[in-house]
Amino acid sequence: MAGFLAFTSIHSQKQTKRKQMSEICQTLKEVLENPQVKSALNAVKTNLPETIEIQKELVLIEAPTGHEETRSKRYKELLESVGLTDVESDEHNNVWGWIRGSEGKGNCVLLEGHLDTVFSFGDVKEIIEDEEGKLHCPGICDDTRAIAANLAVAKALIDSGIKPFYDIVIGATVCEEGLGGMRGMKWILEDLSKTNHIVATVSIDGPTAVDFYANATGMVDWDVIFSGPGGHAWTAFKTPSAIHAAARAVAMISDLCLPEDPKTTITVSLIEGGQAIHGIAQKASFKINARSNSQAELNKLNDELVRIFHLACEQENAKYGNGKEVKVSYEKILDVPAGNQDDDALIIQATKAVTAAVGLEANFKPGGCTNTNMSIARGIPAVTLGRGGREFGTHTLAEWFDPKDVYLCEQKSILMLMLLAGLTDVSKPIY
């Protein structure tokens, strides 16, 4: 009987999934037949040269994480220039504008990319276009391409006279990269949520036009410091060493057995310590990057790390037992939540459908650490779509971008927004 019930449940789930996909495909068909949508889809293709010029302009406005002011200001001007209403920025330099829907009840869908890049001031000097049309410049892809594409989407929607049912927000966020820890996305979601219900978010990040992310790999960065009395290597022998305690901790961390499913990883890096070759170390430090596709596993790992930090001190101090002690301090310098959505979630099915609609086959990537994490952590349906085109050397000085057929990214975004926000008098939102 139990087996039969299980079979019945699975069969019912499959039927529900098929029904949902069928409904999404029907809605998408209605959207694709709409003349205004056709106009918008054609516009992003026709206007691609202009979009690439804006991308080239923006990449030369350097925007290291935490220093996005100048690029944000210019992007705000561009959002206003394409006709978005109520364009605003916050104290962090997030910036966004609106395409108001017909519903008028505060439901909105957010389309965003991030303003910041991984590069320092002075790294971006020029754009070199080679004989194949590839654009060589640090940051030309990640995520400058996204914010240029989203601007093109906004312009196409407005110029085509499209009236969504829910409000559409087009935004650009700060502090996505590195120790920024997606805080810009966190801030914009908090701001929008004060007066609106965020129905779904779409982030543009990552390479290719087929890959997408709809689950969130959590990430925690630790800064760990061991400190002790130190002393002369000869005369103060048997004084606990900060380096020895740190080494004990690193050895225990390296011996941890972590699950492969859900994938969980840990890396110790940037280790340093000591003051002289003939001195017992007064200080030693290292940093840790821990990641998991499961928040529960990440929490367990964090608890284990704290235990190890203290145990390493205890072991080093107990070795001599002379009252001299090494102590440890630690802090999380980055904490990005993990989260998951059902594999058959509507937003995942919608992503597969719109990707097929532009002639491509979607590739659902496991995990991912993008601005989508912040939405999923709040229970908001979310997906990260790739920037499209071809790219190489992302996050390196050798980064390049090939814009061939990259307009497919914009076309997917338009169709996703139509499914999520609805099209007045044509189709209802899927949420």
* Residue 274, pLDDT score: 97
DSSP characters over 230-242 = -EETTTTTTS--H
Distance in angstroms (rounded) separating the CA atoms of residues 54 and 223: 39
Are 261 and 330 found together in one domain? Answer: yes
The tens digit of pLDDT for each residue in 31-55 reads: 999 999 999 999 999 999 999 999 9
The tens digit of pLDDT for each residue in 285-318 reads: 999 999 999 999 999 999 999 999 999 999 999 9
Are 209 and 234 found together in one domain? Answer: no
Are 205 and 235 found together in one domain? Answer: no
Are 89 and 56 found together in one domain? Answer: yes
The domain boundary residue, chosen from 336, 356, 375:
336
Evaluate if residue 6 carries a pLDDT over 80.
no
The domain boundary residue, chosen from 308, 336, 364:
336
Are 305 and 379 found together in one domain? Answer: no
With respect to residue 210, please indicate whether it lies within any of the assigned structural domains.
Answer: yes
The answer for residues whose C-beta is within 8 angstroms of residue 210's C-beta and 6 or more apart is 355, 360, 361, 362, 363, 386
With respect to residue 1, please indicate whether it lies within any of the assigned structural domains.
Answer: no
Are 326 and 357 found together in one domain? Answer: no
Distance in angstroms (rounded) separating the CA atoms of residues 206 and 209: 9
* Residue 24, pLDDT score: 96
Segment holding 314, helix H or strand E? helix 295-320
Are 174 and 258 found together in one domain? Answer: no
Are 170 and 291 found together in one domain? Answer: no
With respect to residue 14, please indicate whether it lies within any of the assigned structural domains.
Answer: no
Contact 52, 169 (CB under 8 A): no
With respect to residue 163, please indicate whether it lies within any of the assigned structural domains.
Answer: yes
Evaluate if residue 8 carries a pLDDT over 60.
no
Considering the chain, what is the average pLDDT of its residues? 95
For residues 189-194, average pLDDT: 98
With respect to residue 120, please indicate whether it lies within any of the assigned structural domains.
Answer: yes
The tens digit of pLDDT for each residue in 361-410 reads: 999 998 889 999 999 999 999 999 999 999 999 999 999 999 999 999 99
* Residue 18, pLDDT score: 76
The tens digit of pLDDT for each residue in 227-251 reads: 999 999 999 999 999 999 999 999 9
Task: CATH number of the domain at 357, please.
Answer: 3.40.630.10
Parent domain of 314:
218-336
Task: CATH number of the domain at 317, please.
Answer: 3.30.70.360
Evaluate if residue 7 carries a pLDDT over 80.
no
Find the helix packing angle between 346-357 and 407-421, rounded to 10°.
140
With respect to residue 6, please indicate whether it lies within any of the assigned structural domains.
Answer: no
Are 277 and 198 found together in one domain? Answer: no
For residues 15-20, average pLDDT: 74
Distance in angstroms (rounded) separating the CA atoms of residues 188 and 175: 11
Evaluate if residue 9 carries a pLDDT over 80.
no
Are 197 and 251 found together in one domain? Answer: no
* Residue 366, pLDDT score: 86
* Residue 12, pLDDT score: 52
Evaluate if residue 11 carries a pLDDT over 90.
no
Structural domain count, the chain: 2
The whole-model pTM stands at 0.92
With respect to residue 202, please indicate whether it lies within any of the assigned structural domains.
Answer: yes
With respect to residue 249, please indicate whether it lies within any of the assigned structural domains.
Answer: yes
Are 148 and 30 found together in one domain? Answer: yes
* Residue 15, pLDDT score: 66
For residues 10-15, average pLDDT: 57
| Cβ count near 33 (within 10 Å) | 11
- HSE, CB side, 13 Å, CA atoms: give it for residue 91: 1
Looking at residue 139, its amino acid is: G
Are 283 and 181 found together in one domain? Answer: no
The domain boundary residue, chosen from 281, 307, 336:
336
* Residue given tokens 């939540």 in the structure block: 337
* Residue given tokens 């630690």 in the structure block: 330
* Residue given tokens 């991912």 in the structure block: 368
